Amino acid sequence: MMYGADLHLPPGFRFHPTDEELVLHYLCKKCTSQPIVVPIIAEVDLYKHDPWKLPGFAIYGDKEWYFFSPRDRKYPNGSRPNRAAGSGYWKATGADKPIGAPKAIGIKKALVFYAGKAPKGEKTNWIMHEYRLADVDRSARKRNSLRLDDWVLCRIYNKSGGKHSKKAVVTSSTQLQLPKLETPPVILPPQYLQMQTAVVVAENICFDTSDSFPKSSNCSDNVLSPSSYEGNAHRSQVIESTAPEVSRPLELEPMSSMFQNTYLQDIFTYLQKPF
């Protein structure tokens, strides 16, 4: 086997063949035992190794690597390939793509490597493009033979760009679950409770705009006598003494009973009078 150091490649050489070139000029010649001008593709059984170990077996490549690999059957009398490899398995994704026109000379299949045992493996970033010949008799040629294809051509690369990366893609079953945050209870100071109680009292007080005295053009008719002031002061003291404490829950009377209180009705009526 020749490695990159043994190859005599011209300066600036890049190996970026198309799908049709890979099948026609490399895979077909390999399967028919024809010589390849530059043996740049290594022969490795991919299904005996993990994908992150394969770059060490490659003859040439920096971000993608090419291999000729045999392919075995999963069952002796079946045509299904065995996809178990190393510590995991390769899983096909997408539809097969025919290579060549008007008649297909090869088939391209995309696969993703899963670490662990099927079907609960963990998806990784390692991708393989497998090229096989079309119109090939893959029936069991020999009794108890597991060989499905003598050679398939494979391109291996890592989506993250790492050569030895084993990083797996986070799937729906392994997504990070954030803890639920609980809002702590809000403790209000006593001053706020007193202010809130006063607002409630103010909102539930209605002013009666009816006049207790007959209207007159003379403003002096509506002037209160000193005795009336003394009566109002006494009434205010009665209201203050009977008012509930703000520190205790305030039980508001119905609006109908509030207006039956003549003391409150007269006081609010006087407050609206222009003096």
Q: Is residue 243 part of a domain?
A: yes
CA distance 145 to 151: 15
Q: Is residue 249 part of a domain?
A: yes
Q: Using omega within 30 degrees of 0 as the cis cutoff, is the peptide bond preceding 102 cis? A: yes
Of the residues 110, 143, 171, which one is the last residue of a structural domain? Answer: 171
Q: Are 76 and 110 found together in one domain?
A: yes
pLDDT value at residue 253: 52
Beta-bridge partner residues of 92: 111
Q: Are 37 and 161 found together in one domain?
A: yes
Q: Are 136 and 207 found together in one domain?
A: no
Q: Are 160 and 195 found together in one domain?
A: no
Q: Give the CATH number, domain containing residue 161.
A: 2.170.150.80
Stated pTM of the model: 0.58
Q: Are 21 and 137 found together in one domain?
A: yes
Of the residues 171, 199, 227, which one is the last residue of a structural domain? Answer: 171
Of the residues 141, 171, 201, which one is the last residue of a structural domain? Answer: 171
Q: Which two tokens stand for residue 69?
A: 């690999």
Q: What is the mean pLDDT of residues 17-27?
A: 94
List, for residues 28-71, the tens digit of each pLDDT value: 999 999 999 888 999 999 999 999 999 999 998 889 999 999 99
Q: Are 123 and 29 found together in one domain?
A: yes
Q: Are 8 and 120 found together in one domain?
A: yes
Q: Is residue 185 part of a domain?
A: no
Q: Is residue 108 part of a domain?
A: yes
Q: Is residue 145 part of a domain?
A: yes
Residue indicated by tokens 């597991």? 146
Provide long-range contacts, Cβ within 8 A and 24+ apart, for 25-29: 26/153, 27/68, 27/106, 27/131, 27/132, 27/133, 27/151, 27/152, 27/153, 28/105, 28/133
The count of structural domains within the chain is 2
When pLDDT is cut at 50, 70 and 90, the band that residue 212 belongs to is: very low
185 to each of 73, 112, 116, 182, how far by Cα in Å? 65, 50, 47, 9
Q: Is residue 182 part of a domain?
A: no
Q: Are 45 and 84 found together in one domain?
A: yes
User: Residue 224's domain spans which residues?
Assistant: 190-271
Mean pLDDT of the chain: 74
Q: What is the mean pLDDT of residues 10-21?
A: 89
Q: Is residue 183 part of a domain?
A: no
Highest mean pLDDT among 68-82, 164-178, 225-239: 68-82
Q: Are 212 and 123 found together in one domain?
A: no
Q: Is residue 181 part of a domain?
A: no
Q: Are 116 and 155 found together in one domain?
A: yes
Q: Are 118 and 231 found together in one domain?
A: no
